[in-house]
Chains A and B, each alone.
Chain A
């Protein structure tokens, strides 16, 4: 079974802090994704990566950056956290190819005070 793990299930940070969310997958998948999920808005794609050191913006990249130094690890960075970044963050991975199934981690619920 594919396993996607996220570094924390719950995080509480203060406005202005730099926040790192880490995601690790164990199936040698080429693609990795970061989404945020908010009530009434569904899942929205923040960034995705199709290879090491490669990244592309999703629909809502503002206020976020990402890093993929190793194939199995994809990090989401909030350079200066703001209250409107309070959300559930979900990481996913998939094999190469756009029609491939995405496997999701359990999510990180981030609260920015």
Chain B
């Protein structure tokens, strides 16, 4: 099963772009990469998902290089409300088993 590695924590200031990189060296051919956001005392919430190259939605962008061994979540112009833990997941196609790592604790400062 593909395991993910992320930085434990990051600090940023309001209005800055934040990039969080996740390593997944053992990603399988049919695995997707998914990012979730979790606020204190809440369950994780889906942010974005991709398979290769670049995906963008109204909240974030996801960059995946050709070898797919890593991915980068990009949050444009963060605000204080983006302070949360961000999880990178690699879905193991066909077995329904997702591996959540320990996540990256992002703190946005005023």
Contacts and interface: CB of A to CB of B under 8 A. Distances in A.
A107 B41 contact: yes
Contacts of B96: 31, 48, 50, 56, 98
A90 B97 CA distance: 15
Q: How large is the interface on A (under 10, 10 to 19, 20 to 34, 35 or more residues)?
A: 20 to 34
Interface residues of B, number: 24
B100 A99 contact: no
Interface string B64-98: 00000000000000000000000100011111111
B97 A107 contact: no
Given A43-B44, A101-B49, A104-B43, A48 B97 contact: yes
Contacts of B97: 45, 48, 58-59, 98
Interface of B: 32, 34, 36, 41-46, 49, 87, 91-103
